Amino acid sequence: MSEVMCQGRQSGEQIPSGDALVIPGGDAKESFQLTMLRAFLLPAACRDVFVLKEIQGYTLPEVAAVLGISKDDVTKHLRRAQREMQTS
């Protein structure tokens, strides 16, 4: 992943643990690892948007600014990523 993906939202800020992505009845760590594996397999643009928005908690305008794309493109990539994450 790009260098931006490895940083928190702001210097020194903790990256969320991914608890929002936990599968009910499953182990939280295992569920998060599976989510990250699936995200790694996404096309690069979708992966970057997904990680910034869903894992690191950026807002749509923040994701657009970080990646230098429009909010419409962020929404498009996020929808594709979410669709592919559900089917994988």
DSSP tag of 68: T
Q: Can you tell me the distance from the alpha carbon of 82 to that of 52, in angstroms, rounded to the nearest whole number?
A: 13
Whether the CB-CB separation of 73 and 66 falls below 8 Å is answered with no
Task: Find the helix or strand (DSSP H, E) in which 83 lies.
Answer: helix 71-87
- Flag whether pLDDT at 42 surpasses 80: yes
Q: pLDDT tens across 4-27, in order? A: 544 555 544 444 444 444 455 667
Which pTM was predicted? 0.65
Enumerate residues 6+ apart whose C-beta is below 8 A from 16.
Answer: 55, 56, 57
